[in-house]
Structure 1
C-alpha cells in the first residue's frame, strides 16, 4: 500500500497496534485463566489465532491489517500466558527457573528461524500464511489431553477436588503406578464436594503485599521493555544491515537467558533483578549524557550490555511475578505484568514516526524510571526455593528478607498438604 514518504507513519502505527494487541490479550487471557482454567484458555487462544492469522494474510486494505494484527497479537498473548502459567505450576521449586529458561531458549530459536523463513517466503502474505499454518498444526496437536493437562495446583486452590483427583491420578499413573499409598490419598481427596471458589482480579486491589509486589514487578517489566529501544537505537549506526542487527539483538537475549539461568537460582531472584536494573540504569544514563564524548567502542559496549540487561529485567520480572502471585489470581496478576511489559514495547515504534522528536524524551523518562525501579525492587520478597503461594492469605504472608541473607529453602514440597 505504498507505506513510504507521506504514509511512512503507518508502519510504526501497525507495530504499536500489534503490541497493544498483546497487552489486551494478556489481560483478557489472565482473567479467563483464573475462571475457566489454563488448558481451555491456551486451546481457545490457539484456535482463535488461526482464523485471525489468515485474516491478516488476506487483508484487502490497511485498516483490515490493523484490526487483524491487533486480534492476532491478542490471541498469541493468550496462548503464551496460559502455557507459561500451566508450565510453572507443574514444576517443583528447584526446577521452576530451569524449565522456564529452557522454554525461553525455544522462543529464541523461533526468532532465529524467522529470518530464514522470511527469505524463503519473500512475500509478507506468504510468510503470514506459513506462520498461521504452523499455529494450526500446533492447535491440532495440543487438543490431545495427554499433552497438556489442566493445572492440578489451580484445581486444588479453587476447590475443584474431583477434577484435581482425576488429573493427579493421570500424573500418578505415569510416574508411580504401583504406589498404593498415593492412590489412597487421591481417592480420599474427592471426599465431599465443596463448591468451586473463584477469585476476581479486583481482589488484588484490597490486599497490601500482593498489590505492592504486582505493581513493583509490573513497573520493572515496563521499564525493561521500554528502555530497550534506547539501546538498540544506539546500535543502529554500527550495524546498518538488518540481519546483522537482528542477530545481535537475538544474541543479547541468549546472553540474558544464560545469565539469569546461571545466577538467579544461586543468588536469588531479587538480587539478580536488582543487579540487572542497576546495569540498565547506569548504561542508559551514561549513553544519555556522554554519547558525544565516548569512543565508539565504549558506546557499542554500553549499548550491548544495556540491551542484554534490560531484556533480563523484563524476563526476570515476569518470572518473579509468577512466583509471588497466589495461584487463585496468578493468571490475572501475571497478565497485568506481561501487559505492562508490552505497553513499554509499544512506546518504542512511536518514536520512529518521521519528524518525531520524542526519542530524547523517551530516553530521559525511562532512564529516570530505571533509577526509581532500583529503589522499589528492594521492597520485594524472595521466592527462590519457596513453594508457590496458593491463596490470597499465602500471598499476604510473604515478607521481605535481608538482601544478602536468603530465606530457608522449601524444596520438594508435596502438592497435597498433609
Structure 2
C-alpha cells in the first residue's frame, strides 16, 4: 500500500499540517540573509590613498588632495581622484610631487559617510586585493556546494530532523564566531562552514516538509512555504543594515535569531516515512497518532499493517542504478544535460542580480528591499501559474523574459537610472519565478529509480553557478580598480 493512502485519515490540511508548514517555513528565514548579507558586510565605500603629510577629512579631499592624487576615469565617463594611485613625493615635506605614480604604500582613507566599517575597510580589500571581496562569497558557496554533496546522505543516514537541527546549529554557531574574525582568512574559513550548514538546513526542511505534508500541500510548501519565507529573511536584511552600519554588529544581529529555533526541536517530529524505511514502525505510528490527535481525527487500531509499504521500504528489486544511468540513453542524456544547464544559468542570473544591488543606481538599501519584494511576488505568481500551465512553461517563459530584459538594460541611457532599476527588477522577477519551479520540475521529470541522483547532479550544477556568480558584478564594472603598485 502507498504511504499517502495509509495515512489519508489524517486529512490534507488539518492543524498538524498547518503547524508543520509554518514551523518548517520559518526555519528557512535565516537562509535568506546568510549569504546575501555580504551585500552590506563587504560593500566597498569610496576611498583614496592615505597621505601621511596631510591631516584632512574626506569632505575636504577635493581641494587638499588634488595635487597628491592623479585622476582616473570612472563609470559614465566621469573623472575623479584615483583610488589606488598617488604621485610620488619629490621631497620629504610633501610640498612637491613628481609625474610618476606609486601604489598606496601607507594604506587607504575610506569614506565613513555610509558605513562605519565593512570587511573591506577592516582589512583593506581594495585595489590589488579587491578580488578577495567576490572570492569571500565564492568561499561561502563552495561550502554550499560541499553541503549539497553530503546533506542527502546525512539525511538518509541519521534522519531529516537531526540533520535539520544540526545544520541550523552549524550555521548559527559559526556565524556568531565569524563576528570575532581577526583576519580575512579566518573570516573565509568560517564563512565556508556557514555555507556548509546553510544548504543542508534548507534541503532538510524541504525534504521533511514534503514527507510530512499531503500531496495537495507539497507544491504550495515548495513555493509559498520555504521560498516565500526565504525571501522574507532576505527582506529583513536591508532593514537591519540600514540601522546598523558596523559589519561585526550587523553580523551578530543577523546570527542571534538562530538561537530562537531551539524550541522547535520539541515541536517538529521526525519523518514517519524515514522511520518506516529504517524499520522503526512503532516510532512512526506514534508520530502519526499524535498528528491524528492534533487534527481531531480517530486513527485506526493498527496503522501500518505491512512493513513493505510502497515508497518507504521496498527491497523487492535487486537492480542497482548508478549515475551512468543518467546518460545511458539519448532521452536521459537530454533530460540530464538540459536540467543541469538550466539550473546553472538560472542560479548565476539570480545571485548575479541579487548581489549587484549596491552597484545599481539609487539607494542600495531600497534596491535590496525591492529585490526581496519582487521575489515574494514572483513566488506567488509561480504558485498560481503551476495550477494552470505545465511546469516546463513556468520555467522557460519567465527565464527567457528575464534574459531579454537584461539585454535591454544595455540600451538604457545613463540619465534614465530609474528605468534601469525597473528593468533589473523585472529580470529578477522572471529569474526567481523560474528558480522556484526547478525542484518540482526535476523531481517530476527524472524517473523514480534515478531521481535522487538526477536532482543531485542539478544541485551540483546550481551550486557551481552560485560559486561563480559573485565575480560577475565584479567583472562587469565599467572600469575596475587597477592593481596597486608603481606604474
Same fold judged by TM-score > 0.5?
yes
| 1:128 positional shift | 2.1
- Of residues 260, 274, 284 in structure 2, which corresponds to 1:164? 284
Q: Which residue of 2 aligns with 1:310?
A: 431
Q: Please tell me whether the aligned partners of residues 283 and 306 of structure 1 are also in contact (alpha carbons under 8 angstroms).
A: yes
Pair 1:152-2:275 in alignment? no
Per-residue CA distance 1:98-122 (angstroms, 9 max, x = gap)? 2222322222221222222234443
Report the equivalent of 1:114: 237
Partner of 1:41: 163
8 Å CA contact retained: 2:276, 2:313: no
Q: How far apart are the structure 2 equivalents of 1:224 and 1:330?
A: 21
**Structure 1, residues 234-287: CA drift from partner, whole Å, max 9, x if none?**
987763321122123223212211210111122232221122233234334555
Q: Do the aligned partners of residues 271 and 355 (structure 1) sit closer, same or farther apart at CA in structure 2, a change above 3 Å counting?
A: closer
**Partner SS state of residue 124, structure 2:** coil
Distance 2:446 2:165 in 1: 23
CA deviation after TM superposition for structure 1 residue 87, in Å: 0.9
Distance in structure 2 (CA, Å) of the matches to 1:109 and 1:205: 39
Give the drift of 1:83: 0.3
Equivalent position to 1:184, from 302, 312, 328: 302
Tell me the distance in 2 between the aligned counterparts of 1:92 and 1:213: 28
Please list, as runs of the form range in 1=range in 2, the aligned pairs for 1:228-239 lying within 5 A after superposition: 228=350, 239=361
Matched-pair contact (CA < 8 Å) for 1:234–1:300: no
> Aligned match of 1:135 in 236, 253, 258?
258
Q: Does 1:246 align with 2:365?
A: no
Match of 1:26 in 2: 148
Quickly say closer, same or farther: Cα 1:291–1:30, change in 2 above 3 A: farther
1:12 equivalent in structure 2: 134
Change in 2 beyond 3 A, CA 1:214/1:91: farther
Shift of the 64–235 alpha-carbon distance from structure 1 to 2, 3 Å rule, reads closer
- 2:248 corresponds in structure 1 to 125
Gaps of 5+ in 1: 360-418
Report whether the alignment pairs 1:343 with 2:460: no
For residues 355 and 259 of structure 1, the distance between their equivalents in structure 2, rounded to whole angstroms, comes to 30
- Residues of 1 paired with 2:132 and 2:421: CA distance? 30
Structure 2 residue runs of 5 or longer lacking an equivalent are 1-122, 481-487
- Cα distance in 1 for partners of 2:308, 2:386 equals 41
- SS of the aligned residue for 1:58 comes to coil
What residue number does 1:321 align with? 442
Residue aligning to 1:216: 338
Between the aligned partners of 1:335 and 1:148, the Cα distance in structure 2 is 26
Tell me, yes or no, if structure 1 residue 261 matches structure 2 residue 383.
Answer: yes
How far apart are residue 204 of structure 1 and its match? Answer: 4.5
Structure 1 residue 320: deviation in Å? 2.5
Write the distance in 2 (CA, Å) between the matches of 1:81 and 1:226. Answer: 19
8 Å contact kept, 2:343–2:461: yes
- Provide TM-score, normalisation by structure 1: 0.71
- Preserved CA contact (<8 Å) 1:27 1:335: yes
- Say whether the 8 Å CA contact 1:273–1:316 is kept in structure 2: yes
Q: Cα distance 1:298–1:86, how it changes in 2: closer, same or farther (>3 A)?
A: same
State the shift of 1:191 in Å: 9.1
8 A contact 1:221–1:313 mirrored in 2: no
CA deviation string 1:81-105 (max 9, x = no partner): 1001111222333222222223222
How far has the Cα of 1:74 moved from its partner?
1.0
How big is each residue's C-alpha offset from its partner over 1:186-244, in whole Å with a ceiling of 9 and x where there is no partner?
A: 3x24599x989699x97344356777655533432221121246667998776332112
Which position in structure 1 is the counterpart of 2:325? 206
Q: Closer, same or farther in 2 for the Cα pair 1:172/1:312, shift >3 Å?
A: same
One of 212, 219, 242 as aligned partner of 1:90: 212
Cα gap change, 1:237/1:60 in structure 2, threshold over 3 Å: closer, same or farther?
closer
Higher share of residues assigned helix: 1
**Residues in 1 aligned to 2:352 and 2:258: alpha-carbon distance in whole angstroms:** 32
Q: C-alpha offsets along residues 126-171 of structure 1, whole Å, 9 cap, x if unaligned?
A: 2222333211221x22321xx2222223444566544433333332
Which structure has the larger Rg?
Answer: 2
Whether contact under 8 Å (1:221, 1:315) holds in the other structure is no
